[in-house]
């Protein structure tokens, strides 16, 4: 079977049900005019929820690609499913955190309104715009990483809401530079949602750590250095890829 590892990925609402397909709209224009793909080349179609189709380009016509489907398949959901609760970060570092976490394989992102967040997303147009940027960043990063699944970026949550999600999940880790227990010493779930909590630039307050640990989370450190709020999530995901079966499936 020919490898698909280097093929560009384009998102569609649904995978083609038959042996042929048309890639048009913004994705088709990008493939034709930006990537300059031509007949005889191959690409992957993704529905964003695990479905992939390996296609050959038969014809390119004014921003639309006529495709023949070589094969289609469904990739399994990673286990455990990793949810990143990312505190709001000022400027473009929040988008960087989402981008890096998506490339590292995060399954969902929850914007967290932590106490010491400098960034404040209101419930009006400005907050909606900031959330849209995170979602767009996740979408583009998933395509760049050739992922079959787009991470869901949820609505912002409060600490109380986050604690409730911790109680309902299979496990939770609060990344804290003052924690005494390293991540490698915590038993990790093999299924269900594993929540990773990353605080803002000013750090997580003692009250927040207490609320989350009382809900069942473990406060852990990643290593001897202090990571930035924009990079800690991605580093944790890399560690979890090795410590769980996520990178072996």
Start-end of H helices in the chain: 25-29, 93-103, 125-144, 159-168, 206-214, 232-243
Q: Pinpoint the residues of the chain covered by CATH 3.40.1280.10.
A: 81-243
Fold classification of 81-243 (topology level): Alpha/beta knot (3.40.1280)
Kindly report the average pLDDT of the chain as a whole number: 94
User: In the prediction, which pLDDT does 1 show?
Assistant: 52
In the CATH scheme, what is the homologous superfamily, with its name and number, of domain 9-74? Hypothetical PUA domain-like; domain 1 (2.40.240.20)
pLDDT tens profile 178-203: 899 999 999 999 999 999 999 999 89
pLDDT tens profile 4-31: 878 999 999 999 999 999 999 999 999 9
User: In the prediction, which pLDDT does 249 show?
Assistant: 63
Categorize the per-residue pLDDT at 121 as very low, low, confident or very high, splitting at 50, 70 and 90: confident
Number of other CB atoms surrounding residue 63 within 10 Å: 16
Q: Pinpoint the residues of the chain covered by CATH 2.40.240.20.
A: 9-74
Question: Above pLDDT 90, what percent of the chain?
Answer: 86
Q: Is the pTM of this model over 0.75?
A: yes
State the maximum Cα–Cα separation within the chain, in Å, rounded to a whole number: 61
Sign of the torsion formed by the C-alpha atoms of 110, 113, 115 and 121: positive
User: In the prediction, which pLDDT does 120 show?
Assistant: 84
Categorize the per-residue pLDDT at 109 as very low, low, confident or very high, splitting at 50, 70 and 90: very high
């Amino acid at each position: 079977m020919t490898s698909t590892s280097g093929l560009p990925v384009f998102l569609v609402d649904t995978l083609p049900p038959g042996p042929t397909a048309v890639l048009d709209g913004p994705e088709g224009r990008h493939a034709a005019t930006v990537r300059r793909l031509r007949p005889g080349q191959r690409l992957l179609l993704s529905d964003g929820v695990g479905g992939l189709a390996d296609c050959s380009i038969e014809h390119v016509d004014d921003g639309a690609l006529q495709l023949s489907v070589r094969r289609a398949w469904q990739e399994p959901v990673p286990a455990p499913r990793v949810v990143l609760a990312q505190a709001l970060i000022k400027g473009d570092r929040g988008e960087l955190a989402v981008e890096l976490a998506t490339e590292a394989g995060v399954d969902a992102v929850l914007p967290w309104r932590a106490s010491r967040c400098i960034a404040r997303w209101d419930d009006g147009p400005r907050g909606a715009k900031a959330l849209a940027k995170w979602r767009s960043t996740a979408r583009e990063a998933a395509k760049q990483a050739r992922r079959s699944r787009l991470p869901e970026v949820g609505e912002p949550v409060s600490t109380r809401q986050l604690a409730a999600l911790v109680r309902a999940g299979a496990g939770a880790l609060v990344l804290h530079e003052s924690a005494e227990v390293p991540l490698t010493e915590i038993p990790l779930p093999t299924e269900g949602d594993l929540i990773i909590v990353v605080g803002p630039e000013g750090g997580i307050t003692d009250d927040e750590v207490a609320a989350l640990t009382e809900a069942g989370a473990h406060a852990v450190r990643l290593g001897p250095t202090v990571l930035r709020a924009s990079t800690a999530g991605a580093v944790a995901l890399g560690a979890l890829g090795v410590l769980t079966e996520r990178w072996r499936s």
